[in-house]
């Protein structure tokens, strides 16, 4: 089963999409850039997601069905996503990711529809306020929570690559020098 539909069949909807990125250190090697995607792919597969490498530097994933919430926690609210490693036209290297929350949006819409049907006799302002509160407290807060958990997972996965050169290398000038002269 292919994970990715053709681009024309998959229009981007702003209300279900999170586009963010994390900047890598300057000039990572090709090995390090591929290591980031490999580690992310492995971390997602450990949580039950199916993943597919689409092209060099791009990973598509689909989270497991909602009835398997327990092993992955809040990440189960994410339906699918993509992660892309690129330099964006000569800028700093970054991992850009897109998260889709289709299932969360459908569940919130069904609850809103049920609330409208059962509360049809309520005052209109009260019904509107209740629907707005549901979308803010329910959808938006869960959306932000799952997106932040994914960002944390991505930061954890990228930690070795991000921090590798942050620690200074031990130079030969600092190392103890042995005499070349026989004693």
Domain annotation covers residue 171 = no
Domain annotation covers residue 92 = yes
> How high is the pLDDT of residue 66?
67
Domain annotation covers residue 147 = yes
d(CA 32, CA 8): 33
pTM recorded for the entire structure? 0.70
d(CA 129, CA 125): 6
Domain annotation covers residue 2 = no
CATH number, domain with residue 138: 3.30.310.80
Domain annotation covers residue 52 = yes
Domain annotation covers residue 75 = yes
Tell me the residue range of the domain where 36 lies. 15-163
Domain annotation covers residue 119 = yes
pLDDT band at 163 (very low <50, low <70, confident <90, very high): low
Count of the separate structural domains present in the chain: 1
Q: List for the chain the helix, strand, coil content (%; round to 5).
A: 50, 15, 30
Q: Is the dihedral of CA 43, 46, 48, 54 positive or negative?
A: positive
Domain annotation covers residue 28 = yes
């Amino acid at each position: 089963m292919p994970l990715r539909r053709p681009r024309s069949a998959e229009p981007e909807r702003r209300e279900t999409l999170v586009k963010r990125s994390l900047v890598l250190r300057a000039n990572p090697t090709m090995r390090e850039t591929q290591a980031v995607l490999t580690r992310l792919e492995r971390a997602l597969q450990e949580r039950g997601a199916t993943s597919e490498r689409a092209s060099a530097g791009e990973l598509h994933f689909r989270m497991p069905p909602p009835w398997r919430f327990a092993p992955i926690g809040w990440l189960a609210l994410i339906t699918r996503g993509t992660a892309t490693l690129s330099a964006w036209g000569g800028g700093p290297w970054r991992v850009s990711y897109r998260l889709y929350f289709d299932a969360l949006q459908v569940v919130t819409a069904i609850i809103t529809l049920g609330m409208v049907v059962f509360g049809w006799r309520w005052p209109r302002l009260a019904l509107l306020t209740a629907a707005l509160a549901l979308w803010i407290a329910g959808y938006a807060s869960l959306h932000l929570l799952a997106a932040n958990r994914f960002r944390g997972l991505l930061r954890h996965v990228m930690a070795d690559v991000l921090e590798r050169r942050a620690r200074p290398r031990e130079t030969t000038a600092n190392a103890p020098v042995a005499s070349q002269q026989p004693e």
